[in-house]
Amino acid sequence: MSGHNVWTHKGTFLLAAVGSAVGLGNLWRFPYLTGENGGGAFILVYAVTIFAVGIPILIAEIMLGRASRQSPIMGMRHLTKTHNTSRAWETIGWLGAVSAFLILSFYSVIAGWAIHYTWLMLTGSLVGADAQAISDGFDALLASPGLLTLYHTLFIIASGLIVGMGIHRGIESGLRIIMPALFAILLLVLAYSVMHGDIAAAASFLFTFNLAELSLEGWLQAVGQSFFTLSLGMGAIMAYGAYMSSTASLTRTAIAVAAVDTAVAMVAGLAIFSLVFGAGLETGQGPGLMFVTLPLAFAEMPLGGLVGGVFFILVLGAAISSSISLIEPVAAFLVERFDMTRPQAVTLMVIASWALGLLTVVSFNIYAEGTIFHTLFGRSAFDFIELLTNIFMPLGGILIALFAGWALTHSEVMKEMRTNETWFSIWRFLVRFIAPAAVAFVFLRTIPQVDGYLIPAIGAVLLVGAFAAGRTFLMENSQEK
Ligand code: PHE
């Protein structure tokens, strides 16, 4: 068994998990999806999913990591042996590794845009620019495969360097600098947006809801987003959990991660929409919300260049503290399984993900439309990879919930959770039934409309999951009791 590493301090897991959770998902994706989906109704589905489904699965995922003290794939392999369950459960680890690899590929490209905008803002290039100029500028960035590749490369190398230095000298030390700075900057930007924007309009946009307004794809996006923002269902949290101190409280930590993550999304949403409404701009811009609408708002405001620059530094810091958690599970697996050195493992993961990222790069220009990819999959490579992760993460989440709920024994869970019987029963009920059913419900409702041909694939994975769960259950009952 791998000589197991543990974070230096009891609280480091919390820091690392918050670093993973808070990222482009909160600052870029959440606001633009909310804007596209008309505000409140989207947030309602998102928030309910976080609390009813996200937190129990978060607890389950940390538990699997800490109980196995290995990388997700090897950890699941170990747990399937010690629990005498089907090897099929290893799917959790593999699904996670694949999702991490897919997410990192586009995450790094988008984070790269923030490098560009930090530069533009701090050099004052956008000060006083009008809407046309700013949106032309964004289009020009997207039209340039060279520039996009350059930024993508810089960002992914920076992330790789941190992980390559190891969990103590790299990840922990990095997070200790990045995270406090993030919270300070976020508050600064909020204060600025209260002074110069229209915070009341932002609040009413975010917190008035009409569920009937939410489209089917909106439902899927809301559920996908709640998994994405909590970094759930793909091994990042499990990998960090493997290093968690045995004495830190699982439940409290999980609730804290979800609360901080949601608070950051709300604050970012308020700040961004306050600036957008204050400048009289549109909310439904899509992915360009942060890169067109927001710079435009900053361009017209006092000290906009400086505050805008600081804002994009915040985006970069949040992105890098998340991207390192995408590299860690795969890197740790390569080290454990193939005896690679950490730098070798990180290099391999980063190069592979970088190469896949080139597909996202060209989705915005050379292969924007009308190519074979569009004909085959009905969308760009970037949209396709994103859709896959929107499905894989909740799917991984269901499997994690089922395994933790059915395969782990009462005493094991109690040892990890150290809680009373009532909380234990509530949690177990949520992961055994509610979380899987809720996610399955949304899948069944939305995916046929969104993408007919994916159903057989998902159905198959669900069947494997159900089969494995059933077998585990039978074995457990025939042996223990
Ligand atoms: N949670 C991160 C964000 O919101 C994204 C992420 C997903 C990171 C999955 C790690 C794993 O930006």
Q: Are 406 and 473 contacting, i.e. CB atoms less than 8 angstroms apart?
A: yes
Name the residue ranges covered by the structural domains of the chain. 3-480
Distance 195 CA to ligand 1 centre (A): 30
Q: Is the Cβ–Cβ distance between 74 and 239 less than 8 Å? A: no
Separation of alpha carbons 67 and 472, rounded Å? 18
Q: How many CA atoms lie within 13 A of 338 on its CB side?
A: 12
Tokens 């395969």, residue located: 407
Q: Is any atom of ligand 1 closer than 6 Å to the C-beta of 308?
A: no
Q: How far is the CA of 280 from the centre of ligand 1 (A)?
A: 31
Contact 273, 206 (CB under 8 A): yes
Residue 245 sits at φ, ψ, to 5 deg, of -60, 140
Class of the CATH domain delimited by 3-480:
mainly alpha
| Residue from 58, 101, 155, 228 whose mutation best tests the ligand 1 pocket (most atoms within 8 A of CB) | 228
Rounded distance from Cα 20 to ligand 1 centre (Å): 6
Residue 2 is predicted with a pLDDT of 43
**Ligand 1 contacts CB of residue 229 (under 6 A):** yes
pLDDT of the residue at 71: 94
Is the shortest distance between the CB of 24 and ligand 1 below 6 Å?
yes
User: Within a 13 Å sphere around the CA of 459, how many CA atoms are in the beta-carbon half?
Assistant: 8
- pLDDT at residue 74, as a whole number: 95
Residue nearest to atom 11 of ligand 1 (CA): 231
Whether residue 20 has its Cβ less than 6 Å from ligand 1: yes
Q: How far apart are CA 91 and CA 395, in angstroms?
A: 10
Task: Compute, in angstroms, the gap from residue 38 CA to the centroid of ligand 1.
Answer: 23
The gap from C-alpha 313 to its chain's centroid, in whole angstroms, comes to 19
Ligand 1 centre to CA of 150 (Å) is 22
23 lines ligand 1 (CB under 6 A): yes
pLDDT at 376: 61
Q: Looking at ligand 1, which atom is closest to the CA of residue 322?
A: 8
Cα separation, 322 vs 22, whole angstroms:
7
> How far apart are the C-alpha atoms of 157 and 168, rounded to whole Å?
19
71 C-beta closer than 6 A to ligand 1: no
Give the pLDDT confidence score for residue 288 in this predicted structure. Answer: 85
Specify the residue with its C-alpha closest to ligand 1, atom 9: 231
* Pocket test residue of 226, 266, 325 for ligand 1, highest count of atoms within 8 A of CB: 325
How far, rounded to the nearest angstrom, does the alpha carbon of residue 211 sit from its chain's CA centroid? 24
Ligand 1 centroid–CA 326 distance in Å is 8
State which residues of the chain have pLDDT below 70: 1-4, 370-378, 445-481
The best mutation among 33, 159, 322 to test binding of ligand 1, ranked by most ligand atoms within 8 Å of the C-beta, falls on: 322
CB 103 within 8 A of CB 322: no
CB 268 within 8 A of CB 30: yes
Tally Cβ neighbours within 10 Å of residue 334: 21
Q: Whose CA is nearest to atom 10 of ligand 1?
A: 231
Ligand 1 centroid–CA 13 distance in Å is: 15
25 lines ligand 1 (CB under 6 A): yes
Q: How far apart are CA 268 and CA 162, in angstroms?
A: 26
CB burial string 169-195: b at 16+ within 10 A, e below: ebbbebbeebbeebeebbeebbebbee
Centre of ligand 1 to C-alpha 181, Å, is 19
Radius of gyration of the chain from Cα atoms?
Answer: 22
Query: What is the structure's pLDDT at 274?
Result: 93
288 C-alpha vs ligand 1 centroid, how far in Å?
19
Q: Is 323 in the pocket of ligand 1 (CB under 6 A)?
A: no
Gap from CA of 323 to ligand 1 centroid (Å): 7
Query: How many A from CA of 279 to the centre of ligand 1?
Result: 30
Ligand 1: does its nearest atom lie under 6 Å from the Cβ of 324? no
Ligand 1 center–CA 365 separation, angstroms: 26
Question: Atom 6 (ligand 1): residue with closest C-alpha?
Answer: 231
* Contact indicator for 398, 440 with CB cutoff of 8 Å: yes
What's the rounded Cα separation, in Å, for the pair 463 and 341?
Answer: 37
SS (H, E, C) the chain: CCCCCCCCCCCHHHHHHHHHHCCHHHHHHHHHHHHHCCCHHHHHHHHHHHHHHHHHHHHHHHHHHHHHCCCHHHHHHHHHHHCCCCHHHHHHHHHHHHHHHHHHHHHHHHHHHHHHHHHHHHCCCCCCCCHHHHHHHHHHHHHCHHHHHHHHHHHHHHHHHHHHCCHHHHHHHHHHHHHHHHHHHHHHHHHHHHHHCCHHHHHHHHHCCCHHHCCHHHHHHHHHHHHHHCCCCCCHHHHHHCCCCCCCCHHHHHHHHHHHHHHHHHHHHHHHHHHHHHCCCCCCCHHHHCCCHHHHHHHCCCCHHHHHHHHHHHHHHHHHHHHHHHHHHHHHHHHHHHCCCHHHHHHHHHHHHHHHHHHHHHHCCCCCCCCHHHHHHCCCHHHHHHHHHHHHHHHHHHHHHHHHHHHCCHHHHHHHHCCCHHHHHHHHHHHHHHHHHHHHHHHHHHHHHHCHHHHHHHHHHHHHHHHHHHHHHHHHHHHHC
CA atoms within 13 A on the CB side of 298: 30
